[in-house]
Structure 1
Amino acid sequence: MLEDVPDFRKRGRELASLSGIRLDSITPNDARLWEARGQALESLAAGDMDSALRVMGMVSCRSMEEDEAREIAEAAVSVRLAAGWTREMLIDSTESGKAACGRGYYLFCSGAIAVCYFPMVCITDMNGRGYHFHIARDLLIERESGPFAVRRPLAPYQLELFA
């Protein structure tokens, strides 16, 4: 029966049984968690920490707050603007990495930036546990955060002319 199962699933079941978990008594969600642990273990054995974090992040229930996600997104955009990136470069870029603050990961893709607690390959990887922002609409122009508060734009005035 286990011959047809991918290696990471076998590994996850082995980890569960080594931990004293009776596989016939766990829910399907718990089984997926153990399989993810097996897949993460294989990624770690191959030296791919980002893949291990991504796998575990996708089965995690930990969600990021919108304010924290916006702070990370604004910081990522402002670092690139300070380095001389143009509006078009920001919108056209496809790049991901760990936030400078160390609290999360970001992904620039198709004019948006996604932010969550684990690395992503595509925006859908965050699966409701993070936030994405439209770069031009949400991060490069002035936005009101309340009836009396006005945020300063991140972009220099010259870039605002193209909004």
Structure 2
Amino acid sequence: MGVKVSYLDGPPLEYRGSIDTDVAVRIFGFNEDGTVDLQLNLSVPEAKPDDPEPSPAQIESVQRFFPHVPATISSRQAHAILCYRDYARAVADEVAPYMEFSRKGVLIQIIATLVSHDERIAKDVRSWAERRFIQHSGDPRIKTTKHFKNLASICAQVVKDIAL
């Protein structure tokens, strides 16, 4: 089953459901060709007035992962998105180590979007990344974070159920 992803820059005209921005992943439906239309709504922490501008490398990394994110985000916001990406990548590698690359990329985007919408998990992920940075650690020990095991279990079941 293929997946077509769009981002919350506004719902397609044919969509008649909720456009609430609290919805992380919106399923638009199944197409005749077997693909699924999804819309992802990444939640990003608020920028603070004293937040520095992101580096060009941060912007490039963020936009490679979520192309719709504007280059006007702060360094703090870019850092949060990249933390969610790294965490989601670790979860995806845990639950679907042999998944085809492009499908795993979609799974990573979905997981990162879900993480961004649960402030408890998002805060834990940002704290994990800060500790990793402060300790100059190459070993992220991500599997020991508070929510990893539960999130991995949920994602493993989803992958099994929908055979992404």
Larger radius of gyration: 1
Same fold, TM-score > 0.5, yes or no:
no
Normalised by the length of structure 2, the TM-score is 0.25
Larger RCO: Structure 1 or Structure 2 (Cα < 8 Å, ≥ 6 residues apart)? 2
